[in-house]
Structure 1
Amino acid sequence: MSLIRVGTRGSALALAQSTAIANRISTASGSEVEIIAITTHGDTSREPLSSLGGTGVFASALRESLLADDCDVVVHSFKDLPTAAYPGLRIGATPKRADARDVLCARGGLNLTTLPQGARVGTGSPRRAAQLRSLRPDLDVVDIRGNVETRLGRVAEGDLDAVVLAAAGLSRLALLDSVDGEYLELSDWPTAPGQGALALEVRDGKLDRSLAAALTAINHATSQATVLAERLVLARLEAGCAAPIGAMAAIDDGLLFLTATVYSPDGSRNVVASHAATPDSHSIAHLAEAAQDVSDRVSRDLLAGGAADFAPMKVTS
């Protein structure tokens, strides 16, 4: 393949992360790479994500372009990708995951503890909104849309006292050093399943040899397993990527750990479940088996704890 076409959303963040991936594909394959920017409904609409349906709002146009052979591989933010398989497509690689944490970006060096009562904190995420209301019910949580720079600008202009953003996105835009923010640790503030990870999606069937080799070189088995474990909980609960669910998986000392939390939208209730599994080896197949095992047990505990009673989701059998 003399040219590999990489499809991506056209936002600054999407282009930044896709350009980094395109450079890695070019290096690994020795092929020329072209970036194909694709406009999605989620990029053009100003409606809240919850009213747009959340799940797949940024993915559908990319997938349609891939199936139409307008590109050879598309780059998704995993947290925006529906969990259900898409006919004719598959995940070709999961690059090494970036920082999965959220960052509170507030005026004047304030943090989640020191924000004054009634402070206006912006987010478009139902999960982040529920977490804010759980920890600080006195805050005024404001539903917002817009790119990273727009959201940070509303804090700088004084319209908001703070916004909550993904550390990975700030890093990919080279904004971390310029933002006075508080990292929210995953143990207390679990983030969206797959946050910080990218998914490289391709068409089913045999790939061109150069693209296949590049995807194999880029794939990171540990990231693939931890993201899979988190997303399997989402799939089991059929909650969608906009649901108030946080999850954190990690591999440590030979064990695959998974903790997931489901919040009520108003933050007044939550249920937490944690389990660990022992992969037979660190092969992709054995890590996937461990991810399935641990996610099944975590999902059962969440349901037994009443998660379906207060969070908007459709539970599968």
Structure 2
Amino acid sequence: MAQARETRARLCAAHGWDEDAVELVPVLASGDKVLDRPLSEIGGKALWTKELDQWLGEGRIDLSVHSAKDVETIRPDVFHFPAFLPRADRRDCLVGAASLADIPHGAVVGTSAPRRAAQLLNLRPDCKVVTFRGNVATRLKKLAEGEADVTFLAAAGLERLDQTEAGTALGAEEWIPAAAQGVIAIECRADDARTTEWLAAIDHAPTRAELEAERALLAALGGTCHSPVAVICVLAGDTLTMRAALFSPCGAERIEGTVHFTIGELDAVRGLAADLLARAPAAIADHFRAGD
């Protein structure tokens, strides 16, 4: 809802509308209904979009507001993304310890994200990972109740909820975030020219360049919600720099690579994906369709 309110504020500012010109319609996603199992076991990222897709397709809503990192890489052709809002903090925050090194030996770490679990176990194989799902408040409550010693939350989410004091942001040098993290993606029907035009006014071109490159990497890797992949892509001037790492689920194996390219030069991204998969041992490659 915080993301929806930001979207409404930007639309109203761009078009000179009063706030009541944009109605916010809460939709409870399947991903919020089942919290005791990892998403990968109950339907993957589609659980965050299927209700919104149905309402959008039926015309009950004009646009959907998503956390971009929770949107499937391949989307139905009947929808498209006319706007990505300016990227917020892309980092993960560690909650419960001041740094990765300060996590107690043998600590229980709560997360349901394969990337976070594998990256942690690669750096701290002494830790134990347990499933931890729910919104920010739910996960902080579980942590306070002792279900885990530490957990991870997206810095952008904490920032939008004014809870930046809850954790310690992890630099990308030691901890690579998820593809599309920190980005609000706004989707509408591809044949809805009026809404597309309205949304285009709030699209942030630098964020779009980074996001399209990151999603192109995921598509080239053939990853699924089971695939532990971390990626960061940063635009500086006209040059994008992408660093990506693939892990085995247990964290024992890790490979990474970096590529520099200009906006729209997605062949370079696909080349990075091919290189990573060519170097990946079976413990990694088996979790990417392109590696079959």
TM-score relative to the length of structure 1: 0.86
2:277 alignment partner in structure 1? 303
- The correspondence of residues 202-217 of structure 1 with structure 2, limited to 5 A, is 202-208=188-194, 211-217=195-201
- The correspondence of residues 1-317 of structure 1 with structure 2, limited to 5 A, is 15-31=1-17, 32-46=21-35, 47-106=37-96, 109-177=97-165, 179=166, 181-208=167-194, 211-278=195-262, 287=263, 289-290=264-265, 292-306=266-280, 309-311=283-285, 312-315=287-290
Partner amino acid for 1:296?
R
Query: Alpha-carbon deviation of 1:235?
Result: 0.8
Query: Alpha-carbon deviation of 1:216?
Result: 2.1
Higher strand share: 1
In structure 2, do the counterparts of structure 1 residues 120 and 257 end up closer, same or farther at CA, with 3 Å as the change threshold? Answer: same
The 3-state SS of whatever aligns with 2:269 is helix
Structure 2: distance between partners of 1:28 and 1:94: 14
In structure 2, do the counterparts of structure 1 residues 128 and 16 end up closer, same or farther at CA, with 3 Å as the change threshold? Answer: same
Q: Is the 1:245–1:261 contact (alpha carbons within 8 Å) kept by the matching residues of 2?
A: yes
What RMSD over aligned residues (CA atoms) do the two structures have, in Å?
Answer: 1.8
Structure 2: distance between partners of 1:105 and 1:204: 40
Partner amino acid for 1:113?
A
Q: Is the 1:257–1:294 contact (alpha carbons within 8 Å) kept by the matching residues of 2?
A: no
Query: Alpha-carbon deviation of 1:214?
Result: 3.4
Describe the superposition over 1:88-115 as per-residue Cα deviations: whole angstroms up to 9, x where unpaired.
Answer: 1111111111111000010xx5421122
Query: Alpha-carbon deviation of 1:229?
Result: 0.8
Structure 2: distance between partners of 1:171 and 1:234: 26
Structure 2: distance between partners of 1:253 and 1:199: 23
The 3-state SS of whatever aligns with 1:35 is coil
Partner amino acid for 1:270?
R
1:5 alignment partner in structure 2? none
Q: Which moved more, 1:25-34 or 1:192-201?
A: 25-34
Q: Deviation above 4 Å: which 4+ runs of structure 1?
A: none
Identity of aligned residues (%): 37
The 3-state SS of whatever aligns with 1:152 is helix
1:12 alignment partner in structure 2? none
Structure 2: distance between partners of 1:64 and 1:49: 20
Q: Which moved more, 1:260-269 or 1:114-123?
A: 114-123
1:284 alignment partner in structure 2? none
Q: Which moved more, 1:95-104 or 1:80-89?
A: 80-89
Structure 2: distance between partners of 1:213 and 1:149: 36
In structure 2, do the counterparts of structure 1 residues 75 and 307 end up closer, same or farther at CA, with 3 Å as the change threshold? Answer: farther
Q: How many residues align?
A: 287
The 3-state SS of whatever aligns with 1:34 is coil
Partner amino acid for 1:87?
D
Query: Alpha-carbon deviation of 1:188?
Result: 2.0
Mark the runs of 5 or more structure 2 residues left unpaired by the alignment: none
Q: Is the 1:246–1:262 contact (alpha carbons within 8 Å) kept by the matching residues of 2?
A: yes
Structure 2: distance between partners of 1:125 and 1:90: 26
Mark the runs of 5 or more structure 1 residues left unpaired by the alignment: 1-14, 279-286
Structure 1: distance between partners of 2:291 and 2:203: 30
Partner amino acid for 2:288?
M
Query: Alpha-carbon deviation of 1:228?
Result: 0.9
Query: Alpha-carbon deviation of 1:242?
Result: 4.8
The 3-state SS of whatever aligns with 2:59 is coil
Partner amino acid for 2:28?
T
